[in-house]
Amino acid sequence: MGAGVPQAVTRTGSASKAWFRFAWRLARPGAPHRAQQVAAEERGGGGVGEGRGLASLTLWEPLPASAPRTRLRLRPGAPRRAWVLAGWKEALTLLSLPCQVCTRTMGAALGTGTRLALRPGRACGALPRWAPSASARGCHAKSGSARPVPLKKRGYDVTRNPHLNKGMAFTLEERLQLGIHGLIPPCFLSQDVQLLRIMRYYERQQSDLDKYIILMTLQDRNEKLFYRVLTSDVEKFMPIVYTPTVGLACQHYGLTFRRPRGLFITIHDKGHLATMLNSWPEDNIKAVVVTDGERILGLGDLGCYGMGIPVGKLALYTACGGVNPQQCLPVLLDVGTNNEELLRDPLYIGLKHQRVRGKAYDDLLDEFMQAVTDKFGINCLIQFEDFANANAFRLLNKYRNKYCMFNDDIQGTASVAVAGILAALRITKNKLSSHVFVFQGAGEGRSHLNHEKEMFAQDHPEVNSLEEVVRLVKPTAIIGVAAIAGAFTEQILRDMASFHERPIIFALSNPTSKAECTAEKCYRVTEGRGIFASGSPFKSVTLEDGKTFIPGQGNNAYVFPGVALGVIAGGIRHIPDEIFLLTAEQIAQEVSEQHLSQGRLYPPLSTIRDVSLRIAIKVRGVLPL
């Protein structure tokens, strides 16, 4: 006898819905696990020989003689096939059309065990004998129905596609349907377990750069798990995937480069940008972050190494704003570099010549903007990032009324700085007009002011240092944006504290190595009276009197994810400056009195997704389509 044979076949119900009951018994205890296909013919009308259809069942493991009957509810018709897993107490499904039957994720329909699902006209293939038992299902995905997603990719391509890959979280059915059974280990690990494994490995790393490499490698391998890691603790991981660690990663991009992300466009590609955009595998792009690498954070000209910035920005689009990562495109415009060290570096991956400027540069930008909107639509958001000041303002004014674009270094930084000032006013208890501000340069020596700053110019005697400016002007607030480390000396901080009871001190330069002063230095010198904010994160500070301060981080991540989400959701074509003022007001409103008492001028990063959502709602409600 075979491994299992039908002992009895009975029928109940109407002619349109018939019941077949099969009782299986084991011929030989311990028989080998092998497939046995048995055909059972319905005896319509209660008589023998009146066959109305065949039901073909495959048993992949012999059931013990004591096992309850396995029952399937079948409708007579064309031959059908079902795969039955050992260990099922009862299985029930209705076949209303000729179809194949395959297993799906455990669901409430059966209570326990793998559920049957209908796949009209599609074969599901054979199930392996190691189908998960009840004890193994603890690490499976949550119970409930899973909506099938049509995919063109199969097999090895799925495991190498970061958008599709789920690691060992693929269910048995998914592995079979996608042709990846055998390409990944047999164990089923939920995303929760995979998160735990990544965290254990992450915590073993000694340097932030090593941690950055781990996260970026994960993004290249398993995008779903990458964003699960980021959103599990935004406050912990943001300093790694973005400032300040991303600056270090850009400096060492030639060493840390693993797999290209984004689109690399060179000055020599003029005339072919539309073709290059067509090479990108995704057609439904809603957001583009572009840089030419000339002013990366406070690090200067890093050329092609600047690609880490658009990649990091768009990671925060998703982690902080919930934007679909497949709708995001990072772009690096490589027009050369004036960084002699990079030009001499054999590991440098960009064009090895001086920067191209003038008409050729402008023509490249014009073609790029037009190609993006032609390909992805007029309301595709384009964020300019880390362009040099000479080009940043000029390009913003040139494109702002023609395309859906903004410059985060200009508008985003201004918005987050204003948000911090508005929150600080709740501590100083006075109006904005009562304050005197000193801004410490833009990091570029010149004999004149930019056009945008001329309207704020005041006549003063010539001075030679920032300390002299502070003593002469006696500002209530000093804001550093020049990326000159240690520019706010102890003398400046003491003077600020002597002039005013609660001086406002913002060290906004990135990365941390370029900060004008540290949080500890500010609080210590001003005896805890300084209202401090920084561009890079600093740890909490406890003074000798036992009072603890949690410094606020004026990170643009409070601004651009929410603005982007609102613009994308609303299909908005142009972004006026007013929206960034509204964003600043919304961020300041998110700061509670308890936060202010701790020294925070910004809401905790752990709440940034909620903050971004509220900003997006305000943007969508204010901006015209």
Q: Which residues are catalytic?
A: 242, 313
State CA 100 to chain mean position distance: 38
**Other C-beta atoms lying within 10 Å of the C-beta of residue 90:** 13
**Other C-beta atoms lying within 10 Å of the C-beta of residue 602:** 24
**Other C-beta atoms lying within 10 Å of the C-beta of residue 284:** 10
Give the span between the Cα atoms of 499 and 436, in whole angstroms: 12
Cβ–Cβ under 8 Å, residues 330 and 280:
no
Give the span between the Cα atoms of 106 and 144, in whole angstroms: 7
Give the span between the Cα atoms of 507 and 512, in whole angstroms: 10
Single-letter residue type at 128? P
Judged by DSSP in three states, 46 sits in helix
Element spanning 59, H or E: strand 51-59
Q: Give, in degrees to the nearest 5, the angle at Cα 413 between 480 and 487.
A: 10
Cβ–Cβ under 8 Å, residues 61 and 33:
yes
What's the full length of the chain, in residues? 625
Could you tell me whether strands 287-291 and 70-74 are parallel, antiparallel, or unpaired per DSSP bridges?
unpaired
Cβ–Cβ under 8 Å, residues 393 and 410:
yes
Give me 402's structure tokens.
């023609």
Number of H helices, E strands in the chain: 21, 20
Beta strands in 238-291 (DSSP E): 263-266, 287-291
